Chain A
Amino acid sequence: MLDAHDALDPKLAHEVAAWKHERPLIACRFDPPGRYVFVSAEDNRIQRFALADGAKTSLTAHESWVNAFAFSRDGQWTISGGCDGRLIWWETAAEQPTPVRTLDAHAGWIRALAVNSDGTLLASAGNDNLVKLWNVLDGTHVRDLAGHARHVYSLCFHPTQPNVLLSGDLAGVLKQWDVSAGTETRVFDAKALTSYNAGQGVDFGGVRALAVSPDGKYLAAGGLHNASNPLGAVHDPLSLLFEWEPQTLVKSLGTGDFKGSLWRQLFLSPTLLMAVSGGSGGGILSFWTPDNDKEFHRHSLPNIARDMDLHADGLRVCTTHFDGQVRLTRLAAKREG
């Protein structure tokens, strides 16, 4: 039964759990029913932590780092994508999950995964500049979406339109696709998230995080800007907030004096965007509303952060950190005891 302690309030954010792995962590996701948090680490392994008691189970199969997770809608299947270019299906709640299906999916790293709103399609994207579509349940290849000229960094399906997919790349090109037709329908200009540093000879940034508001009104594209020294990690997080239909840039959401990169963002409500950033300033959760380009609240995390996810309860947030900890933060009042 809900009470005042279950009311979402980012200003009351507080840590409720932290579990340690021996190596720095990379990505994290809750399974849809909210029983587990899956994290990947710099040892090629996946760790599954049970939220009930913190019990840890190792999943070993990838030959490189795992960048992304996705799930079947019912949570029965966990799908991981790694720098080995492989997609691996696991039974989420098995006592000791082992690979159920392994696909050599991409030439090069897989950087992002997403499942559409009706739970039928899995999208994967990576360093072969391709977006690929798969049947979530049996792993059948559906089609490729070609058109990006650089590594594809991020993916996001529309929350209510299962045929609408967004993908963003290193060059700041953000494409909207009709996945049923396999066609590109629109391009958003997110080039503010990328830059070329002539002195260092590098392209840097890219669309690293995508989110569409639950009502479909806003699209947020996140990453970094002000990259005065890309090789030295001098840059600022940034989220570009677009109005969906007219493709108008509404706000450029920044983090003030915090230096780093925005790694992931999610809408907590139609008008409340949350993002995780990590950098020289450590780790933060930022909260914005569409009417203000400054954070209305920032929650500092104890260590540099690398990824984030929101629990099915809408209140608990998991974050992965360089110090090997996965931390659970609750965006509501503390419960006594």
Chain B
Amino acid sequence: MKLNYNCGTREHLLARRSFLGGMAAGAVVGGLGLFSSPLAAAELAKQQKRVVVFNMHGGLSQLESWDPKPGTDTGGPTRAIATSVPGIHVAELLPHTARQMHHLCLVRGVNTNEGDHGKGIYMMLTGRKQTPAASFPEIGAVMAKALTPADASLPGHVRITPGGSGGRGNDSAYLGPKYASIALGNGNPPENTNRPEKLSETADKQRNDFRRFADTSFLERRRTAMTDAFTYSYEQAEQLMRQRDIFDVSKEPESEQQRYGTHDLGRHCLLARRLLESGITFVQVSHSNYDTHNENFNFHLEQMQEFDYAFATFVSDLADRGMLDSTLIVVLSEFGRTPRINHYYGRDHWGNAWSVALGGCGVQRGAAFGQTNANGTKVDDGEVNHAMLFHTYLSAVGLNSSHNFDIGGREIPMADPAFGPIKEVLA
């Protein structure tokens, strides 16, 4: 694919740094005003915004987490406990998180009306309904493009997966492979980032020097989007190899590893903190699995016990480090789970009345927005959907979610233009 990329297109011209400079100076830059205000851009230039998403894979039960309904026909055995915010209660499975509630904002009126795993997670990560006609970038790719400094030496979009070997994701759609995720399979450093033993450091440097020399000669006459992508891939790989330790959670002090818990999610949360501290824009942590059609309560006890302590430690650490003002935290799933308890003591798929938790940058803290009815079967107040949440994530980090990406001269809305952010949730 040959793109007209080197001849004044905005994609090429709007290198991140010059874009920020232009916005801060009040200049009109090609209509791609991603930030809601010059002040926001200036602030961002000072302090890079970051986002972390916890994907509760399979469909976290809102009744066993953010919106318990004890003593009702749908509540199951789960009781509610008080939190650090008077008047806000969460499920008893979250005792440590409850103590961090003053940093968090619960959105309890989510109605995505979707009960399919694939469609549900697509909606939640892209803010759009899945259609055959178009493919949209996931939130990680959007944030990486919008927030990552152009001269960043590290990738802007990283996913920490419960298993697997790693590799690149197919999640950036029209934003291009530069913003596709790098997966850290089971929290391990990116694949193939160790220099082969047979290749000396000197020989490796000579190889790269020669590549750059050849590239420079070639690009003077024939620069295209594709050549840039190739060049970027090599440069990023080299940078990754040089900074491989950033992705290696075992480099954290033993005491920190113990503090987060030695199970996979504990390691992954600590790794997420390490990556965000290193300046990576977007990190997604997945915790599997919550698709509890069978024995919902036993499995949520098991999973939430892992999540609660590791997540609460993560939130507390970000607060202690002063990172909450610049880091948006999102805890989402593809959907919630049915209020009705099935004959296996399970809960099934349910997209009609469930919860998402936010925290940190740009959102109200110690708040709960939206409300379900007494037994959680429908949203009573403050109903929101995936698109509104997506707008909210963008707005929370200072982006203007009503603006467009300019992709090869074609303007594509960053978020579904039929909706807007949840203003009540924004700080």
Contacts and interface: CB of A to CB of B under 8 A. Distances in A.
Contacts of A142: none
A230 B295 CA distance: 9
Contact of A202 (B76, B163, B264, B303): B303
Nearest to B305: A127
Contacts of A180: none
Interface stretch (B43-51, B284-292, B359-367, B381-389): B284-292
Given A63-B79, A201-B264, A322-B343, A233 B293 contact: yes
Contacts of B76: 42, 65
B163 A231 contact: no
Interface in A200-256: 200-204, 230-233
Interface string B59-102: 00000000000110100111100000000000000000000000
Given A230-B294, A231-B299, A322-B343, A200 B77 contact: no
B42 interface: no
Given A84-B79, A231-B58, A231-B293, A23 B73 contact: yes
A63 B288 contact: no
A23 B71 CA distance: 13
Contact of B346 (A82, A84, A233): A233
B217 to A, nearest CB: 50
Contacts of B291: 200, 231-232
Contacts of A44: 71
B58 A24 contact: no
Question: Which of A151, A198, A201 lies at the interface centre, i.e. has the most chain B CB atoms within 10 A of its CB?
Answer: A201
A157 interface: no
Question: Which of B71, B73, B343 lies at the interface centre, i.e. has the most chain A CB atoms within 10 A of its CB?
Answer: B343
A200 B288 CA distance: 6
Q: Categorize the interface residue count of chain A.
A: 20 to 34
A202 B289 contact: yes
A122 interface: no
A198 B302 contact: no
A43 interface: yes
A227 B311 CA distance: 29
A198 B163 CA distance: 9
B341 A232 contact: no
Interface string A120-154: 00000001000000000000000000000001000
Given A200-B289, A203-B302, 17 more contacts: A23-B73, A24-B341, A65-B76, A65-B77, A82-B77, A83-B77, A109-B77, A200-B58, A201-B162, A201-B264, A201-B287, A202-B303, A230-B299, A231-B294, A233-B293, A233-B295, A304-B344
21 contacts: A43-B73, A44-B71, A63-B79, A65-B76, A83-B77, A84-B79, A151-B301, A199-B163, A199-B289, A200-B291, A201-B264, A201-B287, A202-B303, A204-B299, A230-B294, A231-B289, A231-B293, A231-B299, A232-B291, A233-B346, A304-B343
Across the A-B interface, the 6 shortest Cβ-Cβ residue pairs:
A233-B294, A83-B77, A65-B77, A322-B343, A200-B289, A64-B77
